[in-house]
A and B are shown apart, each in its own frame.
Chain A
């Protein structure tokens, strides 16, 4: 009998720094982010717009274009570093091991090619199947994402699909090469609320069926709380809090997380004004000394302007970067 060893994480991001060197100064879009995604896990990456969520996603795939550059840290896929890997290795990783689902299904398919051709392109690149087998694989995949009459629909162009159907196609393309990790960048933001839940259900089922992992990038806490096993909250390119979904949603310790959760409209109670986090994200080219959140934080004290907080263990599985974290049950 062999003893069960806790498996190494599929993807480990360690102290990632991605900076953009613009004429107006260096934008530290990702400034020391670390997290892990285990096999079969769904990790939610949450934060306001401009918080560096998408940059993390593109950094993992090595698709940061000039003037952006990964300045430090490691991205380990199965223990192999992708930051130092060459373009050839990255091209193998893209699509085959890690694929991506984008926000806007209206622009993520090429309007001039049929759906079938765009699906076939991925298989041509990442499989050794012959034409007939590739076609069958495309049909099976379309059917598994809930598109009926798949064989006919292969010959259709993207404009002949509705938004929700297109996102199904995009998901099908992302799943085609059986990647082990899918990065979904705001996959439901552009969709109707009714379609949103269908697509989320579909993605969860696809991941479970194929044993893949997922990084779900979103600003929508309601979406991640439904989907994710773990959540990492980003603010100004830093991880401010992370932990298991349930604990983080029910008893967050960082005031920023608390603020995000409180700003979800509560349908049970009527308020004249929706709750919000006061102020806005500071200029990321010129971050203040100390904690980045202190100007918007109801609990800020003198220490917060002095020293930047580091991630420290809180109750349960939670880690937070705050000098004065909330205790369970405490309101901000």
Chain B
């Protein structure tokens, strides 16, 4: 570990304000997501714990605010702060799992396309091209309206949208990697194609994926929020940040702004943090920018 603290990466990290802010925001959300349920007194999804008398209380610093509900309450008397912490769990979970699934699928398809070429390459890459010609939110929306709502369905839709970037990146790096002589040398040594892909090509094409994967978690959180806002995302019993915004949106213009605005601020901060850190990673890991 001492090696890491003396590395150029860590040195640059210490000098980059945006990287520190970004990772601090990410760390904050990681903490909130993991420790969330222990930070708040109320479980917003335990109906028995809710009291309709508490509905639409403003944030505590406004007139009529209640110190039990620092960011106010919604129509069912749910604490907005608690809802955000619980909602962020679902948003971040969806973002991470969908990213891992897309990355795995896309990398696999990209390796096959790049290494074997020919028909496999043509089919995989044409599908990718077709997909890229539509906005990803549109494809996700289309899939969701076809398969219905639910966290698992959202994950499927996001993976179907997200694999393309990995496949294209991996295919490109694979093509340049298999031209290098060590891959030829591995063939000459008599290694099977599968071994060559696993041991020699895969590890050498992973670096650019780190950046894509980081930024993609943010993108996925946003897409999921949009889907939920449009009513085709997560079910009402497992509200993500996007669904919280939607729930509050109906009463936004009645002056009850806090039910919608605070979850919105939460999404914005989360995605902002991820993108700041992702930008830093891109600058660090891109050999051409050095």
User: Is A112 in contact with B203, judged by CB distance below 8 angstroms?
Assistant: yes
In the complex formed, the residue of B with least CB distance to A92 is B190
Q: Give the CA-CA distance A189 to B43 in the complex, in Å.
A: 72
Chain B residues, CB < 8 A from A110: 182, 186, 199-200, 204
Chain B residues numbered 179-207 whose CB sits less than 8 Å from any CB in chain A: 180-182, 184-192, 199-200, 203-204
User: Is B185 in contact with A125, judged by CB distance below 8 angstroms?
Assistant: no
Chain A residues, CB < 8 A from B200: 110
Q: B118 at the A/B interface (Cβ < 8 Å)?
A: yes
Q: Give the CA-CA distance A23 to B200 in the complex, in Å.
A: 31
User: Is A100 in contact with B204, judged by CB distance below 8 angstroms?
Assistant: no
Least CB distance, A54 to chain B, in whole angstroms: 10
Q: A102 at the A/B interface (Cβ < 8 Å)?
A: yes
Least CB distance, B97 to chain A, in whole angstroms: 28
Q: Give the CA-CA distance A170 to B188 in the complex, in Å.
A: 12
User: Is A125 in contact with B190, judged by CB distance below 8 angstroms?
Assistant: yes
Chain A residues numbered 162-219 whose CB sits less than 8 Å from any CB in chain B: 170, 173
- Determine which residue in A96, A111, A112, A170 has the highest number of CB atoms from chain B within 10 A of its CB, and name it: A112
User: Is B189 in contact with A122, judged by CB distance below 8 angstroms?
Assistant: yes
Q: How large is the interface on A (under 10, 10 to 19, 20 to 34, 35 or more residues)?
A: 20 to 34
Number of interface residues of B (CB under 8 A): 18
Q: Give the CA-CA distance A122 to B199 in the complex, in Å.
A: 13
Partner of B188, one of A95, A103, A121: A95
In the complex formed, the residue of B with least CB distance to A62 is B187
Q: A109 at the A/B interface (Cβ < 8 Å)?
A: yes
User: Is A125 in contact with B118, judged by CB distance below 8 angstroms?
Assistant: no
In the complex formed, the residue of B with least CB distance to A90 is B190
User: Is A63 in contact with B185, judged by CB distance below 8 angstroms?
Assistant: no
Chain B residues, CB < 8 A from A109: 182, 185
User: Is B185 in contact with A111, judged by CB distance below 8 angstroms?
Assistant: no
- Determine which residue in B186, B188, B204 has the highest number of CB atoms from chain A within 10 A of its CB, and name it: B188
User: Is A108 in contact with B181, judged by CB distance below 8 angstroms?
Assistant: yes
Chain A residues, CB < 8 A from B180: 107-108
* List of 10 A-B pairs having minimum Cβ-Cβ separation, nearest first: A108-B181, A95-B190, A94-B190, A95-B189, A102-B181, A100-B188, A107-B180, A110-B182, A91-B190, A107-B181
B residues adjacent to A (C-beta < 8 A): 117-118, 180-182, 184-192, 199-200, 203-204
Known: A110-B200, A113-B199. 4 other contacts (CB 8 A): A91-B190, A94-B189, A121-B191, A121-B199
